[in-house]
Structure 1
């Protein structure tokens, strides 16, 4: 019961990894706002069914939950989502940003609408709920009720390393990783930690792209439920000293991703001539480790 009594919002919680998160939080004693617009894999359509089904699963376990079908990338929808937690449970302790969808294309074939839709749902769909939740936590801190609040964002290996055929998705997930470290620095004064995960699991989004079939027997390394224990821990009071980090998680493996860092340098102490820089770049490349390969390259 590591999160007993805590109030948690999980976006995109009607299926896949989000559903696993919602159930895992409930089993550990949290009260859960299950957000899901009920869209198809490409983001089209909507239905309240998936969110309500997860609520019913939680209630069958003896837990407390409420469904919410607001669009997290809509400014007012994100505001209503945060309000739903406050109205139903009287507080908000944890925000898990998970909602997203795919519209995969090679960049040369990627349409403007396919770019805009994926950036909107993933990147703005992380920012908008976080912005409204942070406003609530800032008000709580100013009123002398310092929160022990947590935000867990969802990046991806595609965002950390890139993925061929997923330029829009990779850009959005890279943006989420950057947004996470900025939010961690800004929200610390209010008692809020902000971390991200880069999960690998079998979901509607990954099954068309990768071979993630469930094994006939033994440990199912690609089960979405493998990702959730770390997210629950990051949502607990116990994780207070961890912020601004990105964790890769799949199966039984957890690793701490290493982001962009200042590397080796050459300083002339004056402006370079273009003709001088070929040798300089060659030295820098020779003295630096090679980059991780892009997925699918």
Structure 2
């Protein structure tokens, strides 16, 4: 079955280059009308450029339809204005890909509080701002597909990226709650953890690896996760043509008797606590409480 976006309107933030540009171009190629959002700053978030307009020109040259938007995801009013422009032009927004991001890498010992806060603001608060700006429209039209951009750093950690990792795991948590709240309105929310050679990662990937870890190899996962038949509440990894699923799991756990509910009791039971036999993937936070009650009842 061909995945088609004809009649859909998509917003892609941070779409002036790299992954966002590829998402925008591929969505347009499959029929979507696209808002190409990009502040046009450098990878540390400073400066401006006409990057979004250049991507729009590419899309239009290929016969697609797009508009450029230079709003900052950190400014909610600018995200509201972006959504209003798209609604005035096309009447709806069906898809949002939260891709905008910055890097200010340093070891935590050397990282300023300002650099920590700024990276969290762009990635986490910025994604929340863009999502909030489209949320009510998606609820009213009973349709929405939203993609958050996490990272292996957020899921598993990476030296020198405490700010980035905190924001990225926060986005996975935001996804999980919005997937629950959006379910009855057919708003599906997913998380993508891409591995690609872009301006953001040019210091990490050797030149020889750039072709292998191209944005083109990640885009299929992004487009699937915002398609009509997309799942919801999924964390998918993608890079170099490899696609993976990541999960937050919960072990069965151990119910300790009252006289063993001490630090020493936990230490003594740690092998049983961490035993992954029968671990589950909860679909809501309430399920953790449910497993506790089940254990206490002898289940």
| TM-score of the pair, normalised by structure 2 | 0.87
> Is 1:268 the equivalent of 2:269?
no
Deviations 1:249-268 (A, max 9, x none): 11111111112x22142212
> 1:227-266 alignment to 2 at 5 Å?
227-239=218-230, 242-259=231-248, 261-266=249-254
How far 1:56 sits from its partner (Å)?
Answer: 0.1
Q: Corresponding residue for 1:43?
A: 45
Alignment size in residue pairs: 274
Gaps of 5+ in 1: 141-145, 290-297
Q: Is the 2:35–2:67 contact (alpha carbons within 8 Å) kept by the matching residues of 1?
A: yes
**1:116 aligned residue:** 117
Contact persistence 1:11–1:35 (CA under 8 A):
yes
Match of 1:173 in 2: 168
Distance 2:63 2:226 in 1: 20
Matches of 1:134 and 1:151, distance apart in 2: 9
The answer on whether the counterparts of 2:253 and 2:272 sit within 8 Å (CA) in structure 1 is no
* Cα separation, 1, equivalents of 2:266 and 2:64: 63
Q: CA deviation at 1:138?
A: 2.0
Q: Distance in 2 between matches of 1:106 and 1:126?
A: 25
Higher relative contact order (CA 8 A, sep 6+): 1
Aligned to 1:201: 196
Shift of 1:201: 0.5
Q: How does 1:45-194 map to 2 (within 5 A)?
A: 45-47=47-49, 49-140=50-141, 146-147=142-143, 149-194=144-189
8 Å CA contact 1:247–1:257 kept in 2: the answer is: yes
Partners of 2:208 and 2:173 lie apart in 1 by: 32
Partner of 2:35: 33
Which residue is 1:6 aligned to? 8
- Residue 270 of structure 2 corresponds to 281
Deviates most, 76-85 or 205-214? 205-214
Deviation at 1:288, TM superposition (A): 4.5
Quote the offset at 1:282 in angstroms: 4.6
SS at match of 1:42: coil
8 Å contact kept, 1:162–1:170? yes
- 2-structure distance, mates of 1:165, 1:190: 40
TM-score (norm 1): 0.88
Give how far 1:117 is off: 0.4
User: Residues 282 and 256 of structure 1: is their aligned pair in 2 closer, same or farther, counting only changes over 3 Å?
Assistant: closer
Does the C-alpha gap of structure 1 residues 235 and 278 become closer, same or farther in structure 2, counting only changes over 3 Å? Answer: closer
CA RMSD of aligned residues (A): 1.6
3-state SS in 2 of match to 1:120: helix
**Which secondary structure state, in structure 2, belongs to the residue aligned with residue 17 of structure 1?**
helix
Aligned to 1:108, the other structure's residue is in SS state coil
Partner Cα distance (2:35, 2:168) in 1: 24
